[in-house]
A and B are shown apart, each in its own frame.
Chain A
Amino acid sequence: MTSAPSNGPSDSDSSGTAPCTFPGNLSTLAVHAGEDRQKPTHSLTDPIVCASTYSFANTQAVIDYIRNKERRGEYGRYGSPNEWAVEKKLAALEGGEEAIVYASGMAAIVGLLMAKLSAGDEVVFFDECYHRSREFCTKHLSRYGVVTHQVRACDYDAMERAIGPKTKLLVSESPTNPHLSVVDLERFAGLGRKHGVDTLIDATLATPYNLRPLAFGVDYVLHSATKYLGGHNDLLAGAIIGSAAKLQEVRKLRGILGGINSAHNLYLLERGLKTFELRMERHNRNGQAVAEFLANHPRVEKVLYPGLPTHPGHELAKRQMRGFGGLITFMVKDADWRATADVVDRARIARIAPSLGGVESLIEQPLVMSYFEVPVEDRKRFGIPDNMIRLACGIEDTQDLIDDLAQALQG
């Protein structure tokens, strides 16, 4: 990495090259941040500490621990050495004060919402989002007396109108899943500041390589670390990054709800993060090249990818992001659901599976994978046409991916 990443807020007079807000170079942080330089037994890599509980030398040590609130192992649900290492690494990569790691992205979302919202509170979110996040808000938060307002993605006026005296949190993804809409983080964070409401961005699709929401004044960044952060399709994890003050209650609640990770899982996540920069560079490159290929393909009706000049959020994305990731959504021309499924079925490199962000490319038809039992009018409302395909580019050779899609589209 040689140049400062342009993924902080842009100075009004600069030409889009934002100040480097990293305390070090990203790749160096990915390898080293969060780890003690000298480890127990001097091993180069962190040991996997599987203990469910931690012992004290004597009663006085217990009392000292309770009084001084020093960070050490007590009981596994409250934290572990492997967790601290990953949390510090993620906080460093994101440029945040603190990170909390969860058993999955959903556990992280739920953990934050449960910690921040009480009966009578209201939450406003942009409607393009991971369908389970929406489902938790509309079906479950409501059971606890929390009111959810959904407004159209990127309609900032609608969001502002929905903010009332009881509103506690504004939520969005950026880019959104699966539509890849780009949220103007300055405006979004500005709305929160103006009305004294916290803001949360699920930046799973962007990752801190491409976007650093905290630098725009967003309060919480959320990741499904299952995706790019872990990067190898072999673990589930989630994370929230923000200020220590705002996260204090969130961490306490996690200790009660118990959505923590095993030490093995955390080790794999830490290991995955070591190649984070390289993988992201490659995901970005594959995403851009494949999106351009698809945009010029006669059998493709439309491509949603923020890196394409035709994308409505392209200018904003260029200002706000360093690259555009590996996820591409496209519509097959004159295809019904079956003809679209045939394209998916013909792919030989990308495998049919939900998820994204791993080294292996994945392909799916949102209608079938996530919205199969959703009524057609709701699918319309959420913008899920029958001929939509979501492709998560891995880090395979670019030309291999393009050749494979070419034959899949050819039929």
Chain B
Amino acid sequence: MSGERHAFRTRAIHVGNERDPATGAIVPPIHVASTFVLPGAGEPSEFDYSRTGTPTRQRLETTVASLEGGCGALAYASGMAATHGAMLLLKHGDHVIAGTDIYGGTYRLLHKVLVSSGISVTLADTRSPEALEAARRPETKLLWLESPGNPLLSITDLAPCVAWAHQHGMLVGVDNTFASPVLTRPLELGADIVMHSATKYLGGHSDALGGILVVRDPELHRRLHYLQNAVGNVLGPWDSYLIQRGIKTLELRVREQCRTAQRLAEFLASHPRIERTLYPGLPQHPGHDIATRQMDGGYGAMISFEVAGDFAAAKRVVEGTELFQLAVSLGAVESLIEQPASMSHASYDRADRLKHGIRDSLVRLSVGLEAFEDLRDDLDQALRKI
């Protein structure tokens, strides 16, 4: 089924999941083979060695490519492996601009790992054209965007950033993990590469790590595939299967999680123990209008808020919930809670965190599939412990 004419939800179930011609199985087999028997010495074959490709990984790649509107995708062992896979396009002397509100692991990759290959990075507030222009250098080769941002849920207007970057000969990569292709499809906005931590919404069940890159240009796909095969950070068949299975309910999950998050954000915004609620679905959020345009029918299921109190108060809240479990990561059926200052962004020093607007009192929620009432009551009782 090519499925181009079908709705997102239908494609999520069927594209890449065509019936198995060998057995008729409604769900394609999980191919665990590490190597494939060739038709003859030196004769080409669709699959030869599993680092290069496997039927199971390829099915997942086909599905995600369809959902993001790309020509092809590549699945990696983790989101970081995917980001690194894209960064492998860079060489000594190149420069990268990335957003200030990006995932901590991407910050670490850029600042602590890629620097030793002679690649330099500047963080810029990607909401500001002036800040971007100020960061630009003649050797800038890549613009790396994330919207909504992490953990402050800042919204970047992707299309103008892409246009600006292309004007200056840069490639544009978008970490679309928080939005998922249900809400935002950056390739349609002109981006060159979309990256996902498939560990999050795509897999959706907190039980598989994975990363994906999707591109529009077959030549770029070929280049990235060459690099992936050379480096070897590929996704295994079992996790490919679990992520693909998760994608079948992706749209249902994300839309429901958005609905619940919107109601929770409204509840939190008027809660007396909360100073500030950061959620793009709230009209007072500075990126609300852009998000309304850029995100298709929902504002995501991540919420951050600052409690009225200090580090210890926020710590009490994250330790005081019952349904929201204290864990990093996000995007799954289980709701999670964390304190960026002590957990996801603890690797920044405090001054750096504060510079980026990450206060000690900040709490980050990943809203799962539990009932709104149960989650609201849980947060309410935890906030009363401040």
Residues on A lying within 8 angstroms of B by beta carbon are 1-2, 24-28, 30-32, 37, 44-45, 232-234, 271, 274-275, 277-279, 282, 348-349, 351, 353, 355, 358-360, 362, 394-397, 399-400
Which residue on A lies nearest to B24, using beta carbons? A353
B245 contacts the other chain (Cβ, under 8 Å)?
yes
Residue in chain A with minimal CB distance to B9: A397
Q: A25-B371, A271-B242, A275-B333 are in contact. List 8 more A-B contacts (CB 8 A).
A: A31-B334, A349-B6, A353-B26, A395-B9, A395-B13, A396-B6, A396-B9, A397-B7
- Contacts known (A348-B1, A359-B249); A28 close to B370, Cβ less than 8 A: yes
**If the complex has contacts A351-B19, A395-B9, A400-B6, are A271 and B370 also in contact, measured as CB distance less than 8 A?**
no
A-B CB contact pairs (8 Å), 20 listed = A24-B374, A25-B373, A25-B374, A27-B371, A28-B371, A45-B205, A232-B248, A271-B245, A275-B249, A275-B252, A278-B249, A278-B256, A278-B369, A349-B10, A353-B26, A355-B26, A359-B248, A360-B13, A395-B13, A395-B252
Q: Of all chain A residues, which has the CB nearest B374?
A: A28
Q: Is the CB of A349 within 8 A of B14?
A: yes
Q: Is the CB of A275 within 8 A of B370?
A: no
B27, A232: Cβ atoms closer than 8 Å: yes
Residues in B1-42 with C-beta less than 8 Å from chain A: 1, 6-10, 13-14, 17, 19, 24, 26-27
Q: Is the CB of A279 within 8 A of B371?
A: no
Give the chain A neighbours of B327 by CB distance below 8 A.
44
Instruction: Tell whether, in the assembled complex, residue A362 and residue B26 are in contact, meaning their CB atoms are under 8 Å apart.
Output: yes
Which B residues have a C-beta under 8 Å from some C-beta of A?
Answer: 1, 6-10, 13-14, 17, 19, 24, 26-27, 205-207, 242, 245, 248-249, 252-253, 256, 322-323, 325, 327, 329, 332-334, 336, 368-374
**Alpha-carbon distance between A396 and B17 when the two chains are bound, in angstroms:** 13
Residue contact B245 to A234, C-beta cutoff 8 Å: yes
Out of B26, B205, B368, name the residue touching A360 (CB < 8 Å).
B26
Nearest-CB residue, chain A, relative to B373 = A25
Q: How far is the CB of B36 from chain A (nearest CB, A)?
A: 24
Contacts of B253 in A (CB 8 A): 275, 278
**A395 contacts B249, C-beta separation under 8 Å:** yes
Cβ 8 A contact of A45, one of B9, B26, B207, B256: B207
Q: Which partner residue on chain B sits nearest A401 by CB separation?
A: B10
Determine the distance from Cα of A395 to Cα of B368 in the docked complex, in whole angstroms.
20
CA of A274 to CA of B252, assembled, Å: 12
Q: By the criterion CB–CB under 8 Å, are A274 and B369 in contact?
A: yes
Alpha-carbon separation in the docked complex, A191 to B327 (Å): 52
Bound-state Cα–Cα, A364 to B374, Å: 41
Closest B residue to A281 by CB, please name it.
B252
**What CA separation (Å) do A355 and B24 show in the bound complex?**
14
Give the residues in chain B near A275, CB-CB below 8 Å.
249, 252-253, 333, 369
A362 to B26, CA, bound (A): 9
Complex: A24 Cα to B14 Cα, angstroms: 34
A179 to B228, CA, bound (A): 53
A348 to B1, CA, bound (A): 8
Answer whether A359 and B371 are a contact pair too, CB < 8 Å, given A45-B205, A232-B27, A278-B253.
no
Chain B nearest CB, measured from A263 CB (Å)? 14
B249 touching A279 by the CB < 8 A rule? yes
In the complex, A44→B203 CA distance in Å?
14
- Chain B's nearest CB lies how many Å from the CB of A88? 16
- A37 surroundings in chain B (CB, below 8 A): 322, 325
Closest Cβ neighbor of B241 among chain A residues: A234
> A32 near B26 (CB under 8 angstroms)?
no
**B28 nearest in chain A by CB position:** A234
| B371 proximity list for chain A (CB < 8 A) | 1-2, 24-28
A142–B205 Cα gap in the complex (Å)?
A: 46
Taking a contact as CB atoms under 8 Å apart, the answer to whether B248 and A32 are in contact is no
Assembly CA distance A25 to B378 (angstroms): 13
Establish whether residues B7 and A400, one from each chain, have CB atoms under 8 Å apart when the complex forms: yes
Q: Residue on B with the closest CB to A231?
A: B249
Shortest B252–chain A CB gap in Å is: 4
Q: Which residue of B lies closest to A399 (CB)?
A: B7
Q: How far is the CA of A282 from the CA of B1 in the complex (A)?
A: 22
CA distance A360 to B27 in the complex (A): 9
Q: Are B373's CB and A2's CB within 8 A?
A: yes
- Contact assessment for B27 and A233 in the assembled complex, using a CB-CB cutoff below 8 Å: yes
Measured between alpha carbons, how far is A274 from B336 in the docked complex, in Å?
15
In angstroms, how far is the closest chain B Cβ from the Cβ of A348? 7
Nearest 10 interchain pairs by C-beta: A25-B371, A397-B7, A396-B10, A28-B370, A274-B333, A400-B10, A278-B252, A234-B27, A28-B374, A359-B248
Closest B residue to A400 using CB positions = B10
Set of chain B residues within 8 Å of A349, measured between Cβ atoms = 1, 6, 10, 14
Alpha-carbon gap, A275 to B206, bound state (A): 13
| Residues of the B chain whose Cβ atoms lie less than 8 Å from the Cβ of A399 | 7
B256 touches A44 (CB 8 A): no
User: Are A2 and B27 touching (Cβ within 8 A)?
Assistant: no
Which chain B residue lies CB-closest to A42? B327
Complex: how many Å from CA A353 to CA B14? 15
In the assembled complex, the Cα of A279 lies from the Cα of B253 at a distance in Å of 9
In the bound complex, CA of A4 to CA of B26 (Å): 36
Residues from chain A with Cβ under 8 Å of B336 in the complex: 44
Cα A31 to Cα B372 with chains together (Å): 13
Q: How far is the CB of B236 from chain A (nearest CB, A)?
A: 15
Closest Cβ of chain A: how far from B44's Cβ, in Å? 31
The answer to whether A31 touches B14 (Cβ under 8 A) is no
CB distance from A191 to the nearest CB of B (A): 36
Bound complex: CA A351 to CA B20 (Å): 12
Chain A residue contacts of B242, Cβ below 8 A? 271
Q: Are B249 and A271 in contact (CB under 8 A)?
A: no
Q: Are A358 and B26 in contact (CB under 8 A)?
A: yes
Q: How far is the CB of A44 from chain B (nearest CB, A)?
A: 5
Asked, given contacts A44-B206, A234-B27, A274-B333, whether A25 binds B248 with beta carbons under 8 Å apart, the answer is no
Q: Name the distance in Å between A360's Cβ and chain B's nearest Cβ.
A: 6
Q: Nearest B residue to A233 by beta-carbon distance?
A: B26
> Smallest CB-CB separation from B7: which chain A residue?
A397
B14 x A27 contact (CB < 8 A): no
Q: How far is the CA of A318 from the CA of B373 in the complex (A)?
A: 26
